[in-house]
Amino acid sequence: MSTVLNYKIPIRIKERSKDDWNMKLSNNNALRRECSLMYCDNDICYYYCTDDYYVYMNTKAAMKLMDESIEKDAFGGVFIDSLFKNDVSMDHSGMLIKYISEKYCKYNSIRMNSFVDSYFKGTLISKVNNNVDHEPFRYLNGVYDGEKLKENLSNQELMDIDNTIEDFYAYIDRYENENVIRDYVNKYDDRGIIKWVEGLTSTNDFVKDYKEQSYAKDENQLF
């Protein structure tokens, strides 16, 4: 994610300690806590702090903090006097991790345009695998010939298609322009799902192509 790689948001947020002892020592750089970036997408930046808390902030606010911060180091870290005076909120017990994991694991347009720490990636995958609350085929049920797909594809294939349709609807809501459908298809629809949803591919041709691609993928994994 270019926003992270180019240090446009804080990679670390360092909150100074303001207790009497450090004030007497004039130790302005003594830290109360340091928070490291675990995850970032267009909407949210999520951090893990040294005192075992998770904190988060809006990505635009994070970019503003990085841009306007008076003190920062050469590695994407910023020094601040207070988390909460800089639009940083506490996520008690990591409640937002489930929400983040669902976005990251389900949507191509989120996963391909986000940053995730290698350790935290495992946490996200584990979290979504343990989530049994998902109602299957919520979006596929409303698509023409959706029932016909259920006769020809596996549950996992249907779930992948359903997730792509949901991602597509979310994407066109976020980016309103005349080329938004074509942009999504070109960037994220490598299996022709949205072309089928939009009626550009017949159901029979889509099922045939989808199965052929799945077979080719399985064959490649053997070598």
Dist CA 160 CA 196 (whole Å): 14
Give 129's Cβ-side CA count (13 Å radius). Answer: 6
Is the pLDDT score of 49 beyond 50?
Answer: yes
Dist CA 10 CA 38 (whole Å): 11
- Per residue in 145-162, pLDDT (tens digit) is 888 888 888 888 888 898
Tell me, letter by letter, the H, E, C secondary structure of 108-128. HHHHCCCEECHHHHHHHHHHH
Reported confidence tier of residue 47, pLDDT bands at 50, 70, 90: very high
- Per residue in 174-196, pLDDT (tens digit) is 777 778 888 999 989 988 999 99
Q: What is the pLDDT of residue 2?
A: 66
| Average confidence score pLDDT of the chain | 83
Radius of gyration of the chain (CA): 22
Residues 6+ apart with CB under 8 A from 50: 31, 33, 34, 35
Is the pLDDT score of 21 beyond 90?
Answer: no
The pTM of the full predicted model, rounded to 2 decimals, is 0.64
Q: What is the pLDDT of residue 7?
A: 82
Is the pLDDT score of 171 beyond 90?
Answer: no
Q: What is the pLDDT of residue 150?
A: 85
Is the pLDDT score of 27 beyond 80?
Answer: no
Name residue 204's amino acid.
N
Residue 62 φ/ψ, nearest 5 degrees: -65, -40
Do residues 93 and 74 make contact, with C-beta atoms less than 8 angstroms apart? no
Q: CA 27 → CA 13, 62, 159, distances in Å?
A: 18, 26, 55
Name residue 171's amino acid.
Y
Residue 70 φ/ψ, nearest 5 degrees: -75, -40
Reported confidence tier of residue 66, pLDDT bands at 50, 70, 90: very high
Do residues 10 and 66 make contact, with C-beta atoms less than 8 angstroms apart? yes
Angle at 166 between CA 163 and CA 167, to 5 degrees: 85
Do residues 186 and 165 make contact, with C-beta atoms less than 8 angstroms apart? no
Percent of the chain with pLDDT over 90: 29
Reported confidence tier of residue 45, pLDDT bands at 50, 70, 90: very high
If you write DSSP's letter for every residue of 56-109 in order, what string do you get?
EEEHHHHHHHHHH-S-B-TTSEEEES-SGGGT-EEEGGGTHHHHHHHHHHH-HH
Mean pLDDT of 45-71: 91
Q: What is the pLDDT of residue 179?
A: 86
Q: What share of the chain is helix, strand, coil (3-state, %, to 5)?
A: 50, 15, 35
Of 58-62, 79-83, 176-180, 204-208, which range is least confident? 176-180
